[in-house]
Amino acid sequence: MRSPHVPELVCPAGTPAALRAAVDAGADSVYCGFCDETNARNFPGLNFTPAELGEGARYAHAGGAKVLVAINTFPRAGALGTWHRAIDEAARAGADAVILADIGLLAYARERHPDLRRHLSVQAAAANADAIRFYVEEFGVRRVVLPRVLTVNEIAAINKEVSCETEVFVFGGLCVMAEGRCSLSSYATGKSPNMNGVCSPASHVHYREEKGELVSRLGEFTIDRVPRHEPAPYPTLCKGCFSAGDYRGHVFEYPVSLDAAALVPQLLKAGVTAFKIEGRQRSRSYIRDVVTSFRRAVDAEVAGEPIPPGALQRLSEGQTTTAGAYRKTWR
């Protein structure tokens, strides 16, 4: 077992090439999913076949890294076989853990693959020590990916109470809602993260020009309007511009992404086991750069050296970032 002071860097891979790039750049673990609705990044051209996962696991293990398989959507009634097979295939491919959210799947994995490590997906939204204890006791969960609704102090308090590891997101896309408990996307498009592994899917996005403005629509709803010469953010529903009462603007959240690099020292002190980078949909070169930078930042912190300045800034260039819920003022 690693020393509690050295955090595990958990990195995304949407393709075998991205997996190799992440391992080469110093990822301790790589997480990925199968090419279907069993995972929450069910995007065209993304993810792994069982054979690719086997190959990827061999490559990762040779490089001293682990492979975690996200099977973190909620199975459709009557179609459990697809999700059960995904767990069986992950076990067969030599995965080091499966990341699950559905309690029925957790029960299945515990019963059929007792030796396969079970991590609780952020999609399960276990947001306090009692909920975490429930998953640990009932399903033998070894690690919980914490929902992005908690402050650093709350995370520290949780770690004092629970017997399993915790993992937190430190970089990349940011949900403002408790994940796994959001049907905003399906309300507008019929496709949801929980059921289909997609949010605000590109298939339902339309742009049109109107009076010098670019209007971005999701399904039948306008999500944003920007002057034609300005860059239009992707119309993710909760990052849209709306009006509510006298307020006009980003009711839920600005089009920001998460950057908690500056909080790495505090999160380490809070007892977090693993730092997770979001972005299985991102390119191989992005993965290489972001993993390299985070590796450097984490190693510097562990060695008691200052975190190299600007290492991560350029990765979110052109984007606004936030430390999100980790700071209490966000609420």
Partner 1 sequence: MTTVPTITLGPLLFNWTADQWSDFYARIADEAPIDRVCLGEVVCSKRLPFYINRLPDAIERLQRAGKQVILSSLALVTLKRERRMCMDLAASGDLEIEVNDLTMLSHLKRDQRFTVGPLINVYNEGTLAYLAQRGATRVCLPPELPLASVEMLSHEAIFYGIEPEIWAFGRVPLAISGRCYHARVHGLAKDNCRFVCGEDSDGLGVDTLDGEAFLAVNGVQTLSSTCCSLLENIDQLISAGVTSFRMSPHSGDMVAVARLFRRVLDREIEGREAGDALGTLLPGMVFSNGFLRGSHGAAFERA
How far apart are the two ends of the chain, measured CA to CA in Å? 36
Residues in contact with 314: Cβ distance below 8 Å, sequence separation at least 6, in sequence order: none
For residue 302, the minimal CB distance to partner 1 (Å) is 29
Residues in 55-94 that interact with partner 1 by CB under 8 A? 74-80
**Residue 59 amino acid letter:** Y
Q: Any contact of residue 272 with partner 1 (CB under 8 A)?
A: no
Q: Any contact of residue 104 with partner 1 (CB under 8 A)?
A: yes
- Strand, helix or coil at 246? coil
- Strand, helix or coil at 19? helix
For residue 102, the minimal CB distance to partner 1 (Å) is 6
For residue 283, the minimal CB distance to partner 1 (Å) is 29
Nearest to 290 by CA among 280, 277, 299, 275: 277
Tell whether 238 is in a known binding site.
yes
The 8-class DSSP code of residue 282 comes to: S
Residues in contact with 3: Cβ distance below 8 Å, sequence separation at least 6, in sequence order: none
Residues in contact with 143: Cβ distance below 8 Å, sequence separation at least 6, in sequence order: 97, 117, 119, 120, 164, 165, 166, 167, 273, 274
Q: CA 269, CA 252: separation in Å to the nearest integer?
A: 30
For residue 261, the minimal CB distance to partner 1 (Å) is 21
* Identity of the residue, 48 or 83, whose beta carbon is nearer to partner 1 in the bound complex: 83
* Identity of the residue, 51 or 202, whose beta carbon is nearer to partner 1 in the bound complex: 202
Q: What track of x and - describes contact with partner 1 for positions 144 through 163 (by CB under 8 A)?
A: ----xxx---x---------
Tell whether 182 is in a known binding site.
yes
User: What is the token pair recorded at 240?
Assistant: 């849209």
- Kindly tell me the sign of the dihedral angle through the C-alpha atoms of 39, 174, 99, 76: negative
User: Tokens 């190693």 identify what position?
Assistant: 299
Residues in 174-233 that interact with partner 1 by CB under 8 A? 176-178, 180-184, 186-190, 192, 194-195, 215, 219-225
Q: Any contact of residue 25 with partner 1 (CB under 8 A)?
A: no
For residue 44, the minimal CB distance to partner 1 (Å) is 20
Residues in 108-137 that interact with partner 1 by CB under 8 A? 108, 124-131, 133-135, 137
Cβ proximity of 26 and 32 under 8 Å: no
How many residues touch partner 1 under the rule CB under 8 A: the total is 72
From 32-40, 142-150, 278-286, 293-301, give the range in contact with partner 1 by CB under 8 A. 142-150
* Identity of the residue, 129 or 260, whose beta carbon is nearer to partner 1 in the bound complex: 129
The annotation places the binding site for [4Fe-4S] cluster at 175, 182, 199, 238
